[in-house]
Homo-oligomer: A and B are copies of this chain.
Amino acid sequence: MVTIGIDLGGTKIAAGVVDESGKILSHCQRRTGAERPYQQVIEDMAGTALDAVKKAGLTLSDVESIGVGVPGFFDKKTGVVVFCTNLGWHDVPLRAEMRKYIDLPLHGDNDATVAGFGEAIVGVSRDVDTSVFLTLGTGLGSGIVINGKIWSGAHSVGAELGHLMYQHDGILCTCGARGCLERYASATALVRIGHEAAQRHPESVLCGVMEEQWSAKTVIDAAKLGDIAAREAFDEYTTHLANGIITIISFLDPDLIVLGGGVSRAGEYLLEPVRRKVAAGKFFKTLPAGEIVIAALGNEAGIIGAAMLHRG
């Protein structure tokens, strides 16, 4: 038997047919068109999934279940997307609506949780029991796997590490609180920190970057070139990220901490300072703790993790 995994994003819907070993047999995508009524978006999700089934040379009778990663909060009991800020969804009956097109059990979870689970099934954390996955993107998403199972908490409101209270009375977060980790350790945060550093250094190459060209990569590339402002910014950023990881170790102490999302593409250039700062700052300095690694699956993690949700 195979399963379908759907990665619902703000700009595109990606769907794939995945076999029991976690291999993607086929892959299709469509534009999300988030401005449309949710019924149309879900019809396109079903259409993308059916395209993938056809492309794999299979029919729906070969498929066991469907899994969806949503950039928001999915209620597993009711099958309703409670909210999904990017898509402007509130209380969208995803499971019921999808059943109009595909009558299969539908599982769902937050997209970062799903990606972390994908890594735990066939990716970098496949050989460990307990892992914490962080996506360093526009926001700071996260997924927790404990003893091989997705951990979303007793009320499914956990695994939101972007909203750890990191700086009392700090920067205002989109969630309404101040000082959430997301405001200091996401790709968006690196851009903010880069802008601040550029203001202190009029000689920085960052000062010549057009506003619409700015991204985390801009800062990282300039830092690699030796730009003083970019180096300061990246140094501040890796300190915040390391502090977040120290909190993860002092709290859960997972086998592995997995970094994904845009900033993680910096690879070893990111890992070296983060590992060094975590080793220097963690509570039990002389005892072993989880390794910090870069995610292995990239965008495929969302499809594979979603397709595997029936095991989660």
User: In chain B, what residue has the closest Cβ to A146?
Assistant: B146
Looking at the complex, which one of B155, B244, B246, B252 makes contact with A153 (CB distance below 8 Å)? B252
Looking at the complex, which one of B159, B163, B167 makes contact with A167 (CB distance below 8 Å)? B167
- A289 contacts which chain B residues (CB < 8 A)? 155, 157
CB contact under 8 A between A251 and B159, given known A154-B129, A243-B168: yes
In the bound complex, what is the Cα–Cα distance between A168 and B193 (angstroms)?
15
CB contact under 8 A between A168 and B240, given known A155-B287, A158-B250, A250-B161: yes
User: In chain B, what residue has the closest Cβ to A173?
Assistant: B283
CB contact under 8 A between A154 and B253, given known A167-B168, A177-B283, A283-B160: yes
- A160 contacts which chain B residues (CB < 8 A)? 250-251, 283-284
User: In chain B, what residue has the closest Cβ to A284?
Assistant: B157
Assess the A164–B247 pair: CB atoms within 8 A.
yes
Assess the B154–A130 pair: CB atoms within 8 A.
yes
**Interface band, chain A:** 35 or more
In the bound complex, what is the Cα–Cα distance between A128 and B155 (angstroms)?
12
Assess the B165–A254 pair: CB atoms within 8 A.
no
In the bound complex, what is the Cα–Cα distance between A60 and B217 (angstroms)?
66
In the bound complex, what is the Cα–Cα distance between A293 and B279 (angstroms)?
35
Of the listed residues A247, A281, A290, the one surrounded by the most CB atoms of chain B closer than 10 A to its CB is A247
Contact with B along A154-188 (1 / 0, CB 8 A): 11111111011111101000011100000010000
User: In chain B, what residue has the closest Cβ to A254?
Assistant: B154
Assess the B155–A253 pair: CB atoms within 8 A.
yes
User: In chain B, what residue has the closest Cβ to A154?
Assistant: B255
Taking the complex as formed, is A138 at the interface, i.e. its CB lies under 8 A from any CB of chain B?
no
In the bound complex, what is the Cα–Cα distance between A281 and B250 (angstroms)?
22
In the bound complex, what is the Cα–Cα distance between A73 and B288 (angstroms)?
13
CB contact under 8 A between A168 and B154, given known A160-B250, A161-B250, A281-B177: no
User: In chain B, what residue has the closest Cβ to A184?
Assistant: B168
In the bound complex, what is the Cα–Cα distance between A153 and B166 (angstroms)?
21
Within 8 A of B (CB), among A73-104: 73, 82
Looking at the complex, which one of B156, B164, B184, B282 makes contact with A250 (CB distance below 8 Å)? B164
Taking the complex as formed, is A249 at the interface, i.e. its CB lies under 8 A from any CB of chain B?
yes
Within 8 A of B (CB), among A234-277: 239-240, 243-244, 246-247, 249-255
Looking at the complex, which one of B166, B283, B290 makes contact with A168 (CB distance below 8 Å)? B166
Closest 9 CB pairs of A and B: A153-B253, A158-B253, A165-B243, A163-B283, A154-B255, A160-B250, A163-B250, A157-B284, A164-B247
21 A-B pairs in the complex with CB atoms less than 8 angstroms apart: A129-B154, A153-B252, A153-B253, A155-B288, A156-B253, A157-B287, A157-B288, A157-B289, A158-B251, A158-B253, A159-B251, A161-B250, A163-B246, A164-B164, A165-B166, A167-B167, A167-B168, A168-B184, A175-B283, A247-B247, A251-B252
